[in-house]
Amino acid sequence: MNQEEKRPKIEVLVNKSFEETRAAILEDNRLVELIWERRGDMNIVGNIYKATVENVLPGISSAFVNIGYEKNAYLYISDVLNPHKKPIDTILKKGQKAIVQVVKDAIGTKGMKITMDIAMPGRFLVLTPYQKFIGVSKNIEDYEIRQALNETVTELAEKYLDGMGCIVRTEAEEAGKDELEKEVKYLARQWKNIMTKFEKSKSPSLLHEDMKATMQISRDILSEDVKVYLLDDKDDHEKVMDFVSRVSPELKDKIKFYKSKTPIFEAFGVEEEIDNLRKTTLPLPSGGSIVIQEAESLCAIDVNTGKFTGTKSQEDTVTLTNLEAAEEVAHQLRLRNIGGIIVIDFIDMKKAFNRHKVVDALNNAVRNDRAKIRILPITRLGLVEMTRERKRESTSSLLTQECEQCGGSGRLLSSESIRIKIQREVSNLTQGKDGGSLRIVLHPVLCELLKRKQQLIENNINRKLKIQADAQISWEDYKIILE
Model confidence pLDDT, tens digit, residues 180-225? 999 999 999 999 999 999 999 999 999 999 999 999 999 999 988 8
What average pLDDT score do residues 349-368 get?
A: 93
What average pLDDT score do residues 449-473 get?
A: 86
Dihedral over alpha carbons 211, 216, 220, 225 (to 10 degrees): -150
| 108 pLDDT higher than 90 | no
pLDDT of residue 310: 58
- 458 neighbors 464 (Cβ within 8 angstroms): yes
Give CA–CA dist 419/447, Å, rounded: 9
Q: Using the Cα atoms of residue 244, residue 245, residue 246 and residue 247 in order, give the sign of their dihedral.
A: positive
Give CA–CA dist 178/172, Å, rounded: 12
What average pLDDT score do residues 462-482 get?
A: 89
Q: How confident is the model at residue 402 (pLDDT cuts 50, 70, 90)?
A: confident
pLDDT of residue 358: 95
Among 315, 314, 308, which Cα is nearest to 352's? 315
Q: How confident is the model at residue 2 (pLDDT cuts 50, 70, 90)?
A: very low
Among 448, 441, 444, 450, which Cα is nearest to 417's? 450
pLDDT of residue 362: 97
Among 451, 428, 429, which Cα is nearest to 441's? 451
Tens-digit pLDDT profile for residues 132-170: 999 999 888 899 999 999 999 999 999 999 999 999 998
What average pLDDT score do residues 268-278 get?
A: 91
Of the chain, the percentage scoring pLDDT greater than 90 comes to 64
Residue, of 283 and 41, whose pLDDT is higher: 283
| 306 pLDDT higher than 80 | no
Determine the Cα angle at 49 with ends 236 and 125, to 5°.
60
Among 423, 419, 440, 428, which Cα is nearest to 483's? 440
pLDDT of residue 429: 81
pLDDT of residue 259: 94
pLDDT of residue 308: 61
pLDDT of residue 163: 92
| 5 pLDDT higher than 60 | no
- 24 neighbors 34 (Cβ within 8 angstroms): yes
pLDDT of residue 426: 84
What average pLDDT score do residues 423-428 get?
A: 83
Average pLDDT, the chain: 90
**Encoded amino acid at 365, one letter:** A
| 3 pLDDT higher than 50 | no
| 4 pLDDT higher than 70 | no
pLDDT of residue 6: 64
Tens-digit pLDDT profile for residues 238-267: 999 999 998 889 999 999 999 999 999 999
- Ranking 81-85, 207-211, 277-281, 434-438 by mean pLDDT, the lowest is 434-438
pTM for the model stands at 0.80
Q: Using the Cα atoms of residue 76, residue 79, residue 81 and residue 86 in order, give the sign of their dihedral.
A: positive
Q: How confident is the model at residue 83 (pLDDT cuts 50, 70, 90)?
A: confident
What average pLDDT score do residues 79-87 get?
A: 90
